[in-house]
Structure 1
């Protein structure tokens, strides 16, 4: 009897969505290659990201949740300084997140990426230091460095500024929806000795903060500010980005001035617009997109990391269910993800309004709301947050199907797959 060849799938991007997708595809019997433009896994410092219930449960199925919890930032306290007020407001951050989601872990993005990469690195072909330059309709892929190769399917998991999306779908500007804000992260020495605490300065149209994770050795300063229009700044123009941050936060507070002073000495810097991607479909022919590449709800405000993990899991599961037939799997994937994507977009708009207040009343509301949730017992606090915020309703209503591995490949390559005993998983 002739043995059926495992479908070959190329994934572009080794951030979060790419390694999660690679893990589940190999467990379902596919042959996976991941190409990453960077010469190695990125260890540029990164920033903290949130995993909410559905992503936590998927990570648990992968067997990596203990490692994720071990590397959690441990940030559980928040001190808010409303601009112009001498009295800070202190809040129990663990209660705030607990009210939004039954299960939640905050972890540095680079740590999370490394954990997901390690989960299937022995079963996946990783190609670092290369990038896709062309994708033909029949599956032939050309690269900057490697020789052309043919794949059955190609998946763009390469982030908001996706190279795969640009090559196959069109210029990014067609799909971008700017939601009126920018986000920056700076790695700085932890001079204040922050341990498990988020220090926030909040004013009208701007929020700055700093936190230190217990295992980092340094700290992260974060900056969010509003802008009515998109600014003249390319996402690779670091000098211009730093100028924009200095201008937006000038004179806010001596703490913030000190953080800004470190901009030219920081070993790691991130800056981008808070932008949503709105595509009618994120699949075309043999190519589809996952995570921020296809449906970014907005960095820093939309739960995009959890959405990427869920999207990768669902895409792999639907490809397995359709036995690699993308004409069946891609529409099913998009149909199942549509509600999650739309919900995340709405949640991001709401979160941006809260995190970057548009009025002095909003500044007061952010501080006092966090204090109120902290003061309430757990159950009333959860009820209050779920009643009043879209994000809480989203994180606790997401339902993801269970995709048991094929019986013929029980345990998957390396024997690390989930055992398929779980029922439908809610998040």
Structure 2
């Protein structure tokens, strides 16, 4: 087999999953990650549809279930905390709904993947790619701190703001589709017993203020929960490196709102894992250029609010590794085959994310909020195929091939 040395940028979900399968198929993967170590904290993600089969084939499902967030579903509440509607995971089946049956914190899944691969894969933490030069024989890569190296192939699995995509494919604005809102997440202390329920409080739009939602997501372990803030807004200028400025945006946007919001905002200043970003999709006409390919959010982020991104990453990593193995490492054969098998899944996921209705969380008027609440109340009485709103079908778009594993493995 040729082209065995593969550099993967990003140690989140897609990168380590790809490294697992590349090693299984006889390649020599190296993963470079900007963070100094596997990240801690983090929001919850869902493993749906075909991605559950990928987890089974990796023999990590039992560990994933052990690290389950304990989520039982989502409940919408009013200003006083009274429940307006309750949507359990059982209502939507194992792969549908806003909270899937197999839910885990993103960093817990990343940790499981890292622990599964660290004995077989080289990890370069605390470093990042700064320059890429491709030729017919390989990829020359310069790093921020480590020595330059040469690899046979390069995979960008480094998220929505992908450095590899920018260096090889062009400016990020060419690939980002704005979905019209912001998302903020961070860990907060809590004394309440949420009993596995994600609580959501929505404020409709009014003159001068857009619709918005605040939520609390319980996490494993006592005394902590994840706060989430969803805000419809035109793009706002801010310094991406100024975390305090971003925190002020969240505080000002939700100032004066009721429910648990004052306490959640008070905790924002001490949050060690604060996240704030524009909600976007990543759309690219092709996911490969020469010896470089894109994977996961770097190639086809549907939306951090879609609930399908982790499944796209797991399935995409399996297919990309399998096609490279089938093509004996030839990127001119493997990359187009990977894209052909994933493109339909990505198209459906993007369409689902755009059509899932951000008005549910960010309604413009009180009448829109009232209509949403009435719809939520009747969902438990509808057939599951309607209730899941097509998510289960989307998550099962791809049928996995059985790629051959070398006899020595």
Please list, as runs of the form range in 1=range in 2, the aligned pairs for 1:14-29 lying within 5 A after superposition. Answer: 14-29=11-26
User: 1:269 and 2:305 equivalent?
Assistant: no
Q: How many Å separate the matches in 2 of 1:73 and 1:100?
A: 16
Find the residue that maps to 1:136 and give its secondary structure.
strand
- TM-score, normalised via structure 1 length: 0.87
Q: How many Å separate the matches in 2 of 1:96 and 1:358?
A: 28
Q: How many Å separate the matches in 1 of 2:315 and 2:219?
A: 26
Could you tell me which residue of structure 1 aligns to residue 401 of structure 2? 402
Aligned partners of 1:208 and 1:224 also within 8 Å? yes
Deviates more, 1:97-106 or 1:305-314: 97-106
Find the residue that maps to 2:202 and give its secondary structure.
strand
2:50 to 54, 74, 92: 54
Q: How many Å separate the matches in 2 of 1:321 and 1:307?
A: 21
After superposition, the C-alpha distances for 1:43-68 in whole angstroms (9 at most, x for unaligned) are 1x111111112111111110000000
Could you tell me which residue of structure 2 aligns to residue 32 of structure 1? 29
Deviates more, 1:20-29 or 1:205-214: 205-214
Structure 1 gaps, min length 5: 413-427
Shift of 1:109: 0.6
Find the residue that maps to 1:52 and give its secondary structure.
coil
1:312 to 288, 305, 317: 317
Could you tell me which residue of structure 2 aligns to residue 115 of structure 1? 112
Structure 1 pair 81/217, CA: closer, same or farther in 2 (3 Å)?
Answer: closer
Q: How many Å separate the matches in 1 of 2:353 and 2:361?
A: 10
Aligned partners of 1:183 and 1:271 also within 8 Å? yes
After superposition, the C-alpha distances for 1:208-247 in whole angstroms (9 at most, x for unaligned) are 11122233641111111101x2111243331221122112
Structure 1 pair 288/262, CA: closer, same or farther in 2 (3 Å)?
Answer: same
Aligned partners of 1:355 and 1:366 also within 8 Å? no
Structure 1 pair 217/278, CA: closer, same or farther in 2 (3 Å)?
Answer: same
After superposition, the C-alpha distances for 1:65-116 in whole angstroms (9 at most, x for unaligned) are 0000111111114331246x88532414213442753974111111010011
1:206 to 201, 212, 217: 212
RMSD between aligned alpha carbons? 2.1
User: 1:91 and 2:86 equivalent?
Assistant: yes
Aligned partners of 2:213 and 2:362 also within 8 Å? yes
Structure 1 pair 234/328, CA: closer, same or farther in 2 (3 Å)?
Answer: farther
Could you tell me which residue of structure 2 aligns to residue 69 of structure 1? 65
Could you tell me which residue of structure 1 aligns to residue 207 of structure 2? none
After superposition, the C-alpha distances for 1:317-359 in whole angstroms (9 at most, x for unaligned) are 1111111110011111111111111111111112334333344
Runs of 4+ in 1 over 4 A off after TM superposition: none
After superposition, the C-alpha distances for 1:145-180 in whole angstroms (9 at most, x for unaligned) are 222211110000000111111111111111111110
- TM-score, normalised via structure 2 length: 0.91
Aligned partners of 1:137 and 1:285 also within 8 Å? yes
User: 1:282 and 2:281 equivalent?
Assistant: no
Deviates more, 1:232-241 or 1:332-341: 232-241
Could you tell me which residue of structure 2 aligns to residue 292 of structure 1? 297
Aligned partners of 1:77 and 1:90 also within 8 Å? no
Could you tell me which residue of structure 1 aligns to residue 163 of structure 2? 163
Q: How many Å separate the matches in 1 of 2:59 and 2:94?
A: 26
